């Protein structure tokens, strides 16, 4: 890990890239409504060729991703809302947001670190989920800056989480950068540094439907996961500590499989469908590796996901309930799916899982790349 003084790294996070001044027209902005606290929200529009994505400073959220089908018809393939009020409403189920400080679940919201016991919010009773309550990373206002990364359009979001926010120890400075290096590619880079040892696990919680947001189901999609193992869970979806083989189970997506083919076998389980963390087949590779390929046969749209993280959570929108989204679209049960690159759930309490502890002054880094196409 690269070691930085916290003050120096925090200053780096808060400085815009000087490249932004050479071609500011690469990234456009427009108002995205007003938050409940009276602060304005902003939408940034990233474009490269025919590819467009939008992001907002509320929750460092990915709002839309427009992808053409095999006939050239473009659709937004991400569930979400038309302005910030939707993201602050009870209709929002973490659509497109940056989740943390620790994504996924922590058993009973408890962990012990350096001799101290910490109790976090149990907002997914009896467990802690996606960083907790009103000050989790998905709910706060980040500072957004239009910039460039290697000449490509980008938006940098930065946020300083104070010591004790949502019960976590230490001041944490976080940066999330969305960039579009080439047409059809969206890259998400995460960086964080803390002034004391603390757990960190960051992801993006986008919900995909490659038929277009508002289409009625994702069960007709095909999925391939580059993972031969997964982490089984107890009745509250907390990992048992085991890492089991997917072979001969409904969780086997090593080859492309229609999502609806075996999902009924999991409906009676606590997950109520797919809601499982997969251990990616990294073979010692510390860089980007293929994690997933999602394909919609009817339209030909495809998303390939690569990541530096060791795991990916596959979730089939089992709690979507028909809430109204963009343009009044209805988000029915299992009409969106998530593929969340991450370190393993409850890793702060599981010594045999890859560590999520960020040492004082060290830099947490991870990258996820989405590559879209049609065939």
The residues annotated as belonging to the active site are 205, 340
- What is the full DSSP assignment across 203-254? EE--EE-TT-TT-S-STT-EEEES-SEE--B-TTS-B-S--EE-TTSTT--S
pLDDT at residue 285 greater than cutoff 90: no
pLDDT above 90: residue 13: no
Predicted confidence at residue 9, as pLDDT, reads 45
Domains of the chain, CATH where assigned: 6-374 (2.70.98.10)
19-36: pLDDT as tens digits: 333 344 579 999 999 999
Question: CA 315 to CA 225: how far, in whole Å?
Answer: 13
Q: What are the tens digits of pLDDT across the range 252-262? A: 999 999 999 99
Q: CA dist 147 to 78, 118, 153, 160, 178, Å?
A: 24, 38, 6, 20, 10
Q: Output the pLDDT for position 244.
A: 98
Site of tokens 């460092």: 60
Q: How far, in Å, CA of 222 to CA of 296, rounded?
A: 6
Which pLDDT score, from 0 to 100, does residue 14 have? Answer: 45
- Phi/psi of residue 315, nearest 5 degrees: -135, 135
Residue-wise pLDDT for 219-264, tens only, equals: 999 999 999 999 999 999 999 999 999 999 999 999 999 999 999 9
Confidence of residue 40 (pLDDT cuts 50, 70, 90): very high
Mind listing the pLDDT tens digit for each residue in 258-275? 999 999 999 999 999 999
| Structure-block tokens of residue 336 | 């969106």
Distance CA 234, CA 21 (A): 52
User: What is the spatial distance between Cα 42 and Cα 35, in angstroms, rounded to a whole number?
Assistant: 10
User: Can you read off the two tokens belonging to residue 365?
Assistant: 């880094």
**If pLDDT is split at 50, 70 and 90, which confidence band does 123 have?**
very high
- Measured distance CA(181)–CA(191) in Å, rounded: 18
Mean pLDDT of 300-310: 98
The per-residue pLDDT for 245 is 98
Portion of the chain with pLDDT greater than 90, in percent: 91
Q: Who's near 203: CB < 8 A, 6+ residues apart?
A: 98, 99, 100, 103, 104, 309, 313, 340, 341, 342, 368
Say whether pLDDT at 3 is over 80.
Answer: no
The mean predicted confidence, pLDDT, of the chain is 94
| pLDDT recorded at residue 333 | 98
Q: Which residues contact 345 (CB under 8 A, 6 or more apart)?
A: 104, 105, 106, 231, 233, 237, 238, 239, 277, 313
The pLDDT tens digits of the residues spanning 158-182 come to: 999 999 999 999 999 999 999 999 9
pLDDT at res. 5: 47
User: Is residue 325 pLDDT above 50, yes or no?
Assistant: yes
Given this model, what pLDDT does residue 288 score? Answer: 97
Can you give the pLDDT at residue 252?
98
């Amino acid at each position: 890990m690269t070691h930085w003084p916290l003050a120096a790294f925090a200053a780096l996070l808060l400085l815009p890239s000087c490249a932004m001044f050479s071609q500011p027209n690469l990234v456009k902005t427009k108002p995205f409504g007003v938050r409940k606290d009276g602060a304005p929200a902003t939408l940034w529009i990233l474009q490269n060729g025919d590819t467009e994505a939008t992001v907002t400073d509320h929750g460092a959220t990915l709002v839309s991703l427009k992808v053409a089908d095999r006939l050239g018809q473009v659709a937004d393939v991400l569930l979400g809302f038309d302005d910030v009020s939707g993201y602050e409403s009870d209709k929002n189920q973490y659509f497109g947001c940056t989740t943390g400080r620790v994504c996924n679940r922590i058993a009973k919201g408890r962990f012990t670190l350096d001799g101290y016991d910490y109790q976090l919010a149990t907002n997914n009773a009896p467990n802690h989920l996606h960083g907790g309550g009103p000050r989790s990373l998905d709910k706060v206002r980040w500072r957004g800056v239009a910039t460039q990364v290697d000449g490509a359009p980008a938006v940098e979001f930065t946020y300083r989480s104070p010591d004790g926010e949502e019960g976590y120890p230490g001041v944490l400075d976080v940066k999330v950068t969305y960039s579009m290096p080439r047409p059809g590619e969206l890259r998400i880079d995460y960086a964080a540094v803390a002034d004391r040892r603390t757990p960190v696990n960051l992801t993006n919680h986008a919900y995909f439907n490659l038929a277009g947001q508002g289409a009625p189901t994702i069960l007709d999609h095909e999925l391939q996961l580059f993972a031969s193992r997964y982490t089984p869970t107890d009745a509250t979806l907390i990992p048992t500590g085991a890492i089991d083989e997917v072979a001969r189970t409904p969780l086997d997506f090593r080859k492309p499989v229609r999502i609806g083919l075996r999902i009924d076998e999991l409906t009676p389980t606590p997950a109520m469908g797919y809601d499982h963390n997969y251990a990616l087949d990294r073979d010692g590779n510390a860089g980007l590796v293929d994690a997933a390929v999602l394909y919609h046969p009817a339209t030909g749209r495809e998303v390939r996901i690569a990541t530096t993280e060791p795991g990916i959570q596959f979730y089939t929108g089992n709690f979507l309930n028909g809430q109204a989204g963009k343009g009044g679209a209805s988000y029915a049960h299992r009409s969106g799916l998530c593929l969340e690159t991450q370190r393993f759930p409850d890793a702060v309490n599981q010594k045999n899982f890859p560590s999520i502890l960020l040492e004082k002054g060290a830099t947490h880094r991870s990258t996820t790349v989405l590559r879209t196409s049609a065939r």
